[in-house]
A and B are shown apart, each in its own frame.
Chain A
Amino acid sequence: MTDLHSIAFMLNGKSVTADVDARLHLADFLRHTLHLTGTHIGCEHGVCGACNVLVDGRSTRSCLMLAVQVDGAHVETIEGLTASGQIADLQAAFTARNALQCGYCTPGVLATAAELLTGNKPTRDEIRDALSGNYCRCTGYHAIVDAIETVAGKRHGGAP
């Protein structure tokens, strides 16, 4: 049984229309239908954070949202966040601090960090708290926290 629904939404700044089956979750829609494979799937039940994307500016587990639910929303994936340059400083800091090893968790971590850095300058503890929802199985957490802290300091015009 399929239950197709027409959706229209903004994806990485461009309008997209599609017909999606109700049971299809957003992560599979992004990866399999739209071929945007930067969004990764780890656990597929909301624990690991590898599939985090931004929906209307807020970090969201794309495995825990149905594709049909993004109708009318603004969705940003790692491809769009990269192309727009809005997290270029974060990506440079990750490279400089070696804050990724295998890189599988990185798109989700960057989505979390992108949302975190839109608010007030986070403390190191607040960065760790925000990252508690993202697993890095290479366990390189210190470097990830360092990189985000560096960018938080620079964006708020001071030393980290």
Chain B
Amino acid sequence: MKAPAFAYRRPDELAEALSLLADDGAQVLAGGQSLIASLNMRLSAPALLVDINRIGALRGIEDRADGIRIGALVRHVDVLHSPVIARQVPLLAMALPHVAHMAVRNRGTTCGSLALADPSAEMPALAVTLNAKIVLEKQGARRTVAARDFFQGLYQTDRQDDEMITEVIFPRAADDEVFGFAELARRHGDFATVGIAVRARRSGDTLENLDVVIFGSEATPLLSPATSALRIAADATAPMLADMAEAITATMEPMENHQGRADTKRKQAAVLLRRTFRDMQSRAFAGKGNGHD
């Protein structure tokens, strides 16, 4: 199908873009990798597209005092190849190879993915895991929302129609933090049926303070409420890790659809979790000769 008619503007300055967004029916065009598909399928019908691709202020990955800033025009390919991201936000670097395909990564943006809030997208899940700060601007106002408060429902966020995500700020990884990421998709790079992201702190012979997020299967990234008492010890056995995974996935509320029933997705998430816990354990305690299995 073909896109419905819409007006198009391409401002050079952020102030002009925010002014255009104040009109009813105006929508931001950044990478366009979901938006133009939805236009082609006539799933959306904006009156005006505000193309932000020429606004220089929205470019750039910056290592700042308050964290690692990713501007609204930073594309997935830029994040994938960024040495700053690899060093400071290793969870993003781990997940990026799973994000779509080369041609889509060449245009799609981090902030655009956050704004759309597709349940199977990686960026919202990573932002929730690390509790990134999402910066929203509209004409004359700027506010920051924690990622854990931003995602409200299927494709629903705290962003208002006249607001644009101008940047997202990820916290710098601490030396004692260990991360894990895995997802299940029919074809590499396709929408995830279920995926998981994990952050933990290493303390002696234990990984603790676990943050576990499950996405794809849920309407919004699910930060598991069941992890505060959980630990991954250096000598934890495979059955112990499997029990942890079961406890976490018990809190899931998977969407049932063509990709599977709720119990199937719970099982798939549990498998991804126990594999990832094992992987994190061996990376955190490499060379310690933990005699599991």
Contact = CB atoms under 8 A, between A and B. Distances in A.
B8 A64 contact: no
Interface string B154-173: 00000000000000000000
Contacts of B97: 129
A1 interface: yes
B37 A3 contact: no
Contact of B102 (A1, A66, A133): A133
Instruction: For chain B, give the interface size range.
Output: 20 to 34
B188 A132 contact: yes
Interface in A54-110: 58-61, 63-66, 68-69
B5 interface: yes
A138 interface: no
Interface string B18-38: 000000000001001100110
Contact of B36 (A5, A58, A66, A116): A66
Nearest to B7: A3
Q: How large is the interface on A (under 10, 10 to 19, 20 to 34, 35 or more residues)?
A: 20 to 34
Contacts of B100: 133
User: Looking at B37, B39, B41, which has the most chain A CB atoms within 10 Å of its CB?
Assistant: B37
B2 A28 contact: yes
Contacts of A134: 101
Majority DSSP secondary structure for residues of A touching B = mixed
A64 B107 contact: yes
B3 interface: yes
B53 interface: yes
A45 interface: yes
B64 to A, nearest CB: 27
A2 interface: yes
Contacts, number: 91
A22 B6 contact: yes
Chain B: interface secondary structure? loop
Contacts of A116: 102
Given A64-B107, A65-B107, A3 B33 contact: no
A98 B145 CA distance: 54
Contacts of A58: 77, 103, 106
Interface in B68-106: 77, 97, 100-104, 106
Nearest to B39: A23
A129 to B, nearest CB: 6
B189 A63 contact: no
Given A49-B103, A60-B103, A3 B32 contact: no
Q: Which of B5, B32, B100, B101 has the most CB of A within 10 A?
A: B101
A60 B36 contact: no
Given A22-B8, A112-B102, A112-B103, 14 more contacts: A2-B5, A22-B7, A23-B2, A23-B6, A25-B3, A44-B40, A45-B40, A45-B41, A60-B106, A63-B40, A64-B33, A111-B103, A132-B188, A133-B102
Interface of A: 1-3, 5, 21-23, 25, 28, 44-46, 49, 52, 58-61, 63-66, 68-69, 111-112, 115-116, 129-130, 132-134
Interface of B: 1-8, 10, 29, 32-33, 36-37, 39-41, 49, 51, 53, 77, 97, 100-104, 106-107, 187-189
Q: Which 9 pairs between the two chains have the least Cβ-Cβ distance?
A: A133-B101, A22-B8, A45-B37, A59-B103, A1-B5, A58-B106, A132-B188, A23-B3, A64-B36
